[in-house]
Structure 1
């Protein structure tokens, strides 16, 4: 199988926050998981450099726009590195020649569905999009809570209305799978309310010359959202490079991971553009919720809903702890409040006390009593039958839950196997078997250790996409074949104090 995964590309008007870490890690898990299953995988991330809000933020900072965008873009790339994100490519839309070339080619491909006219609408600078009155909440942007500005200007428009039925059919047929299900229903409801043509350019005067000019019309700049969506294929050398043919046109799975606030752009505008261009559609769009702080969305723009930078959390607790919290405690449906107490609890209960404790016990007992190897299991151990069943079925469970974009249930299934194995050890009491001189007890101890080691190795393997560092340490301790390694602290103690001004 050939699988292509992408994150959305964030504006670089400010440094990254924990919400960006969430999407990085979620996408990384999906990509690592498919590699683990043998797929050929390409994983793309990047930065949206061409937004007008980047220009505004640079001016407020007193910096040249290019310098400002580059510095903040570096911070996003640095966060990906700090989180051990296994991306194969990073596209930066303001400076990458692949992007400008590909955007121009895509514009030319859909030119027959473009026309120019005057437009007046309610424009939110934070979203960089127009809203109808019905879409506002008490007259305010549903994302930012600000009152949109009434704007009148000449723009290029895309005939989205011509593709309404084809977009709906692509989603209802499952050709484009949107997860979770309630986001699919939300998109379909919006489509069935009637799609209108949408503006795909802005007056160059308003953008200050920043961005990509409309081919053949320098008075207009391509709408940043339309240009940004194209990154998924421009990074592959659209329209004629081998990478595009392999990873998009010829891919078995094309997956976008995005936040709920931009589902319309991806599930409607992007699909319409690709249909107009005659290009393959994404096969899956998975939509995550938001992280909150005391009930407010963690945001670059909301001073009351800021939290320490991801770098601060990483420095304090380490990569395993942050990655684990993002995959094990964040809701699939509904926003999730972040707190360091929650992060610590999941790390201690799941990783240190359950999985780490299990592996340490198994490695110590096995290494002490079978230094030359444990051999094959001689027969069943009744107390371990449930563990064997859970362990054997674990890869399929993880597959199914990740197909549903339910990372919380996938990680929960891994912890459940470890918890069951810990309970089985208490029932088997291997320390008593080790003191016995009976051959049957010795055989029972060897068989128990063999089955426990096998279960622990399955746990470590399935953990690898979620916490690659910790899984590697577990794998080292568990050894290979008939031999285990030395016990090591796979999940070290966290700092004692978790006091922060935000909790």
Structure 2
């Protein structure tokens, strides 16, 4: 039986043929926000990411650079992929590499089981293969080349010529699972999300499934087929298994039972592997299928999918060096409707940084703490009688927290942040309307001043808890300045579904100076 409190979340594992760009970082941040939220909610959370290091693409890249493929993978993992996680504050619990012994032994056990149970057979195969996708391409993704590739068949995704491969391979009887897959999609309409992705997968399977070639003999960089070492495992069949080998498949039954099944975040270009091939593999092995497969859209630059090969890749540090990791995380989670394509622009990033982070959230925090320092000696003030305006803030905090949690459950990260941001905007409006600086001039209004600033301070405390999964650096600074660290404990240990329980900050709590959370950014435009 699956653990009902388990939230096992995975990203795709990324090819180590090159350094990461912001498209990879986008997936990592989305997964991280979800994982942090579920951890703070008290769910038994496990967040897995990693690297895919076998296959023809890696072999060719390593050879072109004059090194062995394992040496190339080691170099890229340590110099680029693991540093990315630190750069954008990713809180993964595990990092798997397909060259790990735990993975290779798990793949061998899985393959042997499928072979022993009659789901694998030997056969001849000839088809057009894309090295970039590491996939024999379906007809729908084969197009006629243009320009230098005129007269050739090219991959619709990579726009590069396909290779005609003819091999004797081992095949997985995937076609036998067509009806079971269609029944799965019918019985669990939220298995594949969003709805557009589900419709695409259903249509694909309804067209009829073919058996899947799961081995290669034309090169040797891969996991050997356990009953025939002259073959290596097809890289996708190998890679998909990381989701179970990382949590003890074939080695630690207790850990596997605790974690599985998973929630998979994937880019829409690899949806078919995760929503068709992968559940069919699991069915064949007698394992539960995943809880969800969520396909997010592409990041577009100049109208094109982000790509190193097309020179549209942007390194994450190009953004974080100027705006910081919190702004990186906030921008991509707020500006793009999760599940759909989204366009990146420097102008939009700069505008949102200034309007929403610096002027909206950052300025709110600095104003409230500065007024507490000025009027109440850097202590949390005591609240008096609650007015309708104060109650409206308290009620909005509760509503925003509840709606944000529901949106997170549905993988709608952008909507969760939008709900929380209603409280940011409302608090700014509340302070403008209540004019605490004017109340401070009248000694008889001091109880009202205390109520207004307590309401604003508690609102900030709620925001710190709710926004911690999104902007952990800024909220950590705010949490300490509010005096919450010393009195309530660590921010990441606060139960996020109780964030809006009002009155947690006790009057008289000592507060600390707050550094500017989102400093002014001097760009070429603002410095003119």
Q: Same fold (TM over 0.5)?
A: yes
Q: How high is the TM-score relative to the length of structure 1?
A: 0.93
User: 1:494 & 1:158 partners in 2: Cα distance?
Assistant: 57
**1:431-474, CA deviations, whole angstroms, 9 ceiling, x for partnerless residues?**
11111122xx2222111222211111111111111111111011
Pick aligned residue for 2:259 from 248, 260, 272: 248
Find the aligned partners of 1:246 and 1:105 in 2 and give their Cα distance. Answer: 17
Superposed, 1:2-13 pairs within 5 Å as 2-13=6-17
Q: Which residue of 2 aligns with 1:93?
A: 98
| Among candidates 263, 279, 282, match of residue 271 of structure 1 | 279
Distance 1:333 1:34 in 2: 19
345-354 vs 311-320, which deviates more? Answer: 311-320
2:441 counterpart of 1:447: no
Matches of 2:6 and 2:258 in 1, distance apart? Answer: 7
Aligned residue number for residue 348 of structure 2: 342
- Shift of the alpha carbon at 1:76? 0.6
Name the counterpart of 2:229.
218
| 1:299 is aligned to 2:307 | yes
Counterpart selection for 1:24 from 16, 23, 28: 28
Alignment RMSD (CA, Å): 1.9
Distance in 2, matches of 1:464 and 1:7, equals 20
Partner of 2:203: 189
How far apart in 2 are the matches of 1:162 and 1:241? Answer: 30
Ranges in structure 2 where 5+ consecutive residues have no aligned partner: 145-152, 485-504
Contact persistence 2:96–2:242 (CA under 8 A) = yes
Residue 176 of structure 1, CA deviation: 6.0
Match of 1:150 among 149, 164, 170: 164
Mapped to 1, the partners of 2:189 and 2:196 lie a distance apart of: 17
1:243 Cα deviation from its structure 2 partner: 5.4
Give SS of 2:10's match: strand
Cα distance in 1, alignment partners of residues 15 and 265 from structure 2: 16
Q: Does 1:76 align with 2:84?
A: no
Cα gap change, 1:277/1:376 in structure 2, threshold over 3 Å: closer, same or farther?
Answer: farther
2:91 counterpart SS class: coil
Note if 1:400 corresponds to 2:413.
Answer: no
Distance (Å, rounded) in 2 between the aligned partners of 1:289 and 1:317 = 24
Query: Is the 2:128–2:163 contact (alpha carbons within 8 Å) kept by the matching residues of 1?
Result: yes
Residue matched to 1:106? 110
1:213–1:352: structure 2 CA closer, same or farther, 3 Å change rule?
A: same
Contact residue 257 and residue 288 of structure 1 kept, 8 A:
yes
21-30 or 309-318, which deviates more: 309-318
Query: Does the 8 A contact of 1:381 with 1:444 survive in 2?
Result: no
CA contact (8 A) 2:400 2:422 kept: no
Provide, for residues 269-300 of structure 1, a one-character-per-residue CA deviation record: whole Å limited to 9, x for no partner. Answer: 00000011011111011111111221111112
| CA-CA distance at 1:311 after TM superposition | 2.4
C-alpha distance in 1 between matches for 2:362 and 2:226 = 58
Which consecutive unaligned segments of at least 5 residues does structure 1 have?
none
1:163 aligns with 2:186: no
Deviations 1:394-420 (A, max 9, x none): 222111222222222211222221111
* Correspondence 1:310-459 to 2 at 5 A: 310-371=316-377, 373-374=379-380, 377-438=383-444, 441-459=445-463
Q: Is the 8 A contact 2:143 2:156 kept in 1?
A: yes
Q: Could you tell which deviates more after superposition, 234-243 or 257-266?
A: 234-243
**Contact 2:51–2:97, Cα closer than 8 Å, also in 1:** yes
Q: CA deviation at 1:333?
A: 4.4
Separation in 2 of the partners of 1:381 and 1:109?
Answer: 68
Q: Distance in 2 between matches of 1:450 and 1:394?
A: 19
Under a length normalisation based on structure 2, what TM-score does the superposition of the two structures give? 0.88
Alignment check: 8 A CA contact 1:344 1:494 kept? no
Change (3 A) 1:67 1:313: same
* Equivalent pair of 2:22/2:313 in contact (CA under 8 Å): no
Contact 2:393 2:423 in 1 (8 A): yes
Q: CA deviation at 1:376?
A: 5.5
- Spell out, residue by residue over 1:240-284, the C-alpha distance to the aligned partner (whole angstroms, 9 max, x if none): 4045434434x6xx2111111100000110000001101111101
